[in-house]
Every structure is written in structure tokens, then in C-alpha cells.
Amino acid sequence: MFDVARFQRKKVAGGGEGCAISSTMKPQFMSRRQFVTSSLIGAATVVAGRALAAPPATAKIPISVQLYSVRDACAKDFDAALAELAKMGFAGVEFAGYHSYSGKAKELRAKLDALGLKVAATHIGTPTLRGDTLQKTIDFHQQIGCKYLIVPGDGDFTHPEKSKALAEFFNETAAKLKPHGMACGYHNHTGEFAKIGDSNHWELFAARTSGDVVLQVDCGWASDAGQDCADLMKRHPGRMKVVHIKPTVIKGEAGKKAFFGQDSVNWPPVLQACREVGGTEWLTLEQEVYPDGLSPMECTKLSLAALTKSL
């Protein structure tokens, strides 16, 4: 059973130009925030004007992996981890930190190209999108071919007095990124679906932000919060550019395992919504639970095989 408290974030450790993510949630083990700390800053070659158009509904959506799934392997030997994931058959990666490539965009791009990997998106903190740091963030991510800059948590999202300003900040940032062919967005856990009257924080943010702000639905966390992920996409068509496919056992459901297709999430309507209304360009597998004593790499490989077969 997943515990949302372990994913609520406060503040990233580390200094300089790394990212920080503020929130009220506390991680149970190494947080994505810590994993993200090694991110950013590189020399830039500005490449403008890449379109954010969605693929046609009949196109097969490529699969990427959120590197937090195999965070320990990445921390141990990032190159080896990337090579193993490429060998598995992933078309792309979603970053949660850059390890030995922090500030080395050119070298990272060369490594990705050599492995045949694209960049689906990255998870970075809100501070990396503010002030003068934004241009450095743009420069680095353009060079590695990343157009979606996703914030995986910010305490202001659910703050009664600060949530409106945060939404306005995302609108302003999206407008600055758009000429570069880029976009910013937000990734949910479960707290974002806490009730506010007849609605919830997620819907409030969606209503306050423009269609240029990506709503990255994590289908595992959203399902655990009682949401119908296909319905979420139908309510906000075209805004789910990168969707998290997270195998999740909800409330300890008997007979289920956190492998894609063996878990509690009803995946067929989710995948159909991605194809037909989500505007989804990437299905990003995120494996956070490792059943049967298998390693993160082994579990990720099994879920990838099942997800690929289902498409």
C-alpha cells in the first residue's frame, strides 16, 4: 500500500543551482527531490520553435521510463543504468536528476544519442523556473532535447493562500517557454485530490492554468486517490502530454501485484484516453514498488514487457 506522506516534499537539500521542491509531504526513503538535486545547468544552444502538437490518435505512443524507478542503479553507475534501460527497449527517459552529467548537456546528449534514447520530460523544482535561473534551465534542456519541464511537487499547490499565485506563475512560465517549443507542468500525488468544497486542488489548478500548462497525471497515485484517470483526461483534453503509468496496488487489494497488468489500475480505458483525448506524446513507466524480491531493474523490465504487449 502506498503512503502519500512519503512523497510530500519540503525542500531540496544541496546548494548552488540545483532544484528545490517545497511541500508538506515527507519521503519514507530517498525522495525524488534528493534524486533531482543533481540536475541542471549547462551551456546552451538555443533551438526555437519546436511544435507541441499531439500525435494523431492512431499513432502508437512511445514508452519512456521515469529514472526514479531505478534510482539506486542510476546513483551507482548512471551510464550503465541508461544502457540497460535502452537495451530493455525503452524509447526515452524522464529525468529525476543528472548525476555525473549535471551541467554537462553536450555530453549527456551524446550519451543519449549513442543509446538511441530520447528525452520525454524531466522532473525539476519550481525554483529552477524562477528568475535568471529559468534561462539556464531552458538552455540545458534544449540541448538535451527535453521540452517538458515538470514539477513533481510544491507545497503551494494545496496552500489556501498561495495556490492561486502558483497557478499564475505556471501560466507566466508557460508563456515564456512557448517560443522555445517548451512547456512546464505539474505532476500529482494523492494530496492534490483533497477536497475543496465540491472540487479538489487538482481541478482548481487546471481551471486556473492555461492549456499550455501540462497536467502530468500519475495514474497510480490518482487511482489510489479514487480518481478515474480516463475521466481526468476527458475533462482536460490535450493537456496530458506525458502520462505516468505506475503499477499500483490500491488499499492492499488481494491477489494484486505492482506489475503492469497485475495491479489494481484499470489500464485499458486509460490507454484509450491517452490515444484519443489526452494529447499524450509519451507513456512514462514508473515502477516504485518491487514485488517478489525482484530488483528494480527486473520489475521495470517485466512491467515494460506487459505495457508494450497491451498497446
Predicted pLDDT at 38 = 43
What is the predicted pLDDT for the residue at 58?
52
Q: Going by CATH, does the domain composed of 4-41+58-310 fall within 3.20.20.150?
A: yes
pLDDT tier at 12 (50, 70, 90 boundaries)?
Answer: very low
6 or 163, greater pLDDT: 163
Please state which of the ranges 16-30, 208-222, 274-288 shows the lowest mean pLDDT.
16-30
Contact 225, 210 (CB under 8 A): no
Residue 20 has pLDDT above 80, yes or no: no
pLDDT of residue 56: 54
| Residue boundaries of the structural domains of the chain | 4-41+58-310
pLDDT at position 33, please? 44
**pLDDT score of 39:** 42
* HEC readout, the chain: CCCHHHHCCCCCCCCCCCCCCCCCCCCCCCCHHHHHCCCCCCCCCCCCCCCCCCCCCCCCCCEEEEHHHHHHHHHHCHHHHHHHHHHHCCCEEEECCCHHHCCCHHHHHHHHHHHCCEEEEEECCHHHHCCCHHHHHHHHHHHHCCCEEEECCCHHHHCCCCHHHHHHHHHHHHHHHHHHCCEEEEECCCHHHCEECCEEHHHHHHHHCCCCCEEECEHHHHHHCCCCHHHHHHHCCCCCCEEEECCCCHHHCCCCCCCCCCCCCCHHHHHHHHHHCCCCCEEEECCCCCHHHCCHHHHHHHHHHHHHHHC
CA distance 305 to 128: 35
Model confidence pLDDT, tens digit, residues 60-93: 999 999 999 999 999 999 999 999 999 999 999 9
The yes-or-no verdict on residue 55 having pLDDT over 60 is no
Per-residue pLDDT for 274 more than 70? yes
Give pLDDT tens digits for 39-53.
443 333 333 333 355
Q: What is the mean pLDDT of the chain?
A: 87
Percent of the chain with pLDDT over 90: 81
Is a pLDDT exceeding 70 seen at residue 183?
A: yes
The mean pLDDT of 136-145, rounded to a whole number, is 98
- CA separation for the pair 204, 30 (Å, rounded): 30
Nearest to 215 by CA among 239, 234, 193, 233: 239
Give pTM, 2 decimals. 0.83
Confidence of residue 178 (pLDDT cuts 50, 70, 90): very high
- All three cell numbers of 13, joined, read 537539500
- Per-residue pLDDT tens over the stretch 207-264: 999 999 999 999 999 999 999 999 999 999 999 999 999 999 999 999 999 999 999 9
